[in-house]
Amino acid sequence: MKAAMLYGIRDLRIEEVETPKPGLGEVLVKVKAATTCGTDLKIFQRGYVEKVIKLPTIFGHEWAGDVAEVGEGLSWPEKGMRVRGGNSAPCLRCAMCQKGSYNLCEDMVWLWGAYAEYIKVPARTVSLNMQPVPQHVSYEEAAITEPLACVLHGVEKAGIKIGDNVAIIGAGPIGLLHLLAVKRMGAGKTIMIDLVDERLEFAAKLGADYTINPQKADSQASVRQLTSGYGADIVIEAIGLPSTWEQALKLVRKGGTVLEFGGCPPGTEIRVSTEALHYGETTVMGAFHATPLHFREALTLISSGTINVKPLVTRKMNLNEIKEAFEILSMSKTEIKIAIKP
């Protein structure tokens, strides 16, 4: 089969590899759509945590497709069934899992290999993080279950309440998914902050109430002005840079919450004002990945039409054009997610 192998930074090659055989409890899926992700772009541009991805590997982790072969020992799924699967499955046995922090599992099975004609789904993922995709949901939409699951985990943790003013730094795919989610959760004013006007326009089309380009207006002053001088109730950082993590702390009101969502380069640190934590009672939290429950919820929200992810797919490309797709994403101001159709 044809697959996109990642060897290192900006080194992505289309190769002919052996089509995997599903073993006990495993399933082989014919990939019908795989969507590009901010994490993929980061890995392509600057590498990533070795615990999560070991190179060389077939790249890509957001996918949906048709069951092509079912391994021994399974009563579900059936051949031909439309399915989506998550890129992780927790062990349920480690200390983190025993505490219910499944997204922090110490022995997570990670699944890479979406940018290929076929993907072999591990047994643990089949049982914990794979669902049938309803007919009316396209493969592209179903693939977006993965980033939406991560976003649901984040917004749930941040504890957004009806009427909360929410400022989101970064109008890329993850920032936009946060926007869609918090609006559905009853956010009051939503404020998107990004350096690229085209992205802000896109955010406004998706329902952002206010947009701020920090190159044109001071974001701290603008957010305060929009929130009667107090700052946002919730600030979400969806870029993954120490500078924007620090900026997020300056936009929040006293007693508010900062959700540092974007993963920063390894080894980086931020400065946090002790006064903001003490006198301002700011809550600062991180969020990483999602649990199988969030994946299930994300698919439900997509399938019910509660969260419409369709506009986020701005282009469709062939598997052969994968490298070009990432070059386009590196440079483009208007592309959000590209659906790769093997």
Cβ burial of 58 (10 Å; 0-12, 13-18, 19+) is buried
Identity of the residue, 78 or 107, whose beta carbon is nearer to Zn ion in the bound complex: 107
94 binds Zn ion (CB under 5 A): yes
Q: Taking CB under 5 A as the criterion, which residues in 39-58 touch Zn ion? A: 39
Q: Taking CB under 5 A as the criterion, which residues in 109-128 touch Zn ion? A: none
> In the Cβ-directed half-sphere of 321, how many Cα atoms lie within 13 Å?
11
Applying CB under 5 A, the span of 35-43, 204-212, 245-253, 275-283 interacting with Zn ion comes to: 35-43
Number of residues interacting with Zn ion: please give it, by CB under 5 A: 10
Q: How far is CA 70 from CA 26, 126, 185, in A?
A: 7, 10, 39
Q: How far is CA 328 from CA 57, 179, 314, 334, 338, in A?
A: 22, 24, 12, 10, 9
Pairing of β 232-237 and β 130-132:
unpaired
Q: How far is CA 261 from CA 174, 251, 286, in A?
A: 9, 15, 6
Applying CB under 5 A, the span of 12-20, 60-68, 169-177, 263-271 interacting with Zn ion comes to: 60-68
3-state secondary structure of 172: coil
* Total residues belonging to the chain: 342
91 binds Zn ion (CB under 5 A): yes
104 binds Zn ion (CB under 5 A): no
How far apart are CB 298 and Zn ion at their closest, in Å?
A: 11
How far apart are CB 295 and Zn ion at their closest, in Å?
A: 12
37 binds Zn ion (CB under 5 A): yes
User: What is the residue type of 283?
Assistant: T
C-alpha 4/C-alpha 14 separation (Å) is 4
How far apart are CB 221 and Zn ion at their closest, in Å?
A: 34
147 binds Zn ion (CB under 5 A): yes
**Secondary structure (DSSP) of 237-285:** E-S--HHHHHHHHHHEEEEEEEEE-SPPPTT------HHHHHTS--EEE
Applying CB under 5 A, the span of 31-39, 213-221, 223-231, 307-315 interacting with Zn ion comes to: 31-39
Dihedral-angle region of residue 131 (phi above 0 means left; psi in -120 to 50 means alpha; beta otherwise): beta
Applying CB under 5 A, the span of 15-23, 97-105, 203-211, 235-243 interacting with Zn ion comes to: 97-105
| Triad 330, 332, 337: Cα angle to 5° | 80
Identity of the residue, 26 or 62, whose beta carbon is nearer to Zn ion in the bound complex: 62
Identity of the residue, 164 or 335, whose beta carbon is nearer to Zn ion in the bound complex: 335
Applying CB under 5 A, the span of 73-81, 141-149, 172-180, 194-202 interacting with Zn ion comes to: 141-149
105 binds Zn ion (CB under 5 A): yes
How far apart are CB 268 and Zn ion at their closest, in Å?
A: 21
C-alpha 214/C-alpha 22 separation (Å) is 51
Applying CB under 5 A, the span of 34-42, 46-54, 192-200, 257-265 interacting with Zn ion comes to: 34-42
Identity of the residue, 59 or 210, whose beta carbon is nearer to Zn ion in the bound complex: 59
C-alpha 285/C-alpha 287 separation (Å) is 7
Binding test (CB under 5 A) with Zn ion, winner from 70, 89, 97, 180: 97
How far apart are CB 234 and Zn ion at their closest, in Å?
A: 22
User: Which residue, among 145, 147, 92, 83, has the nearest Cα to 120 in the 3D structure?
Assistant: 83
Applying CB under 5 A, the span of 23-31, 87-95, 121-129, 306-314 interacting with Zn ion comes to: 87-95
Identity of the residue, 57 or 283, whose beta carbon is nearer to Zn ion in the bound complex: 57
Residue numbers at the binding site for Zn ion (CB under 5 A): 37, 39, 62, 90-91, 94, 97, 105, 146-147
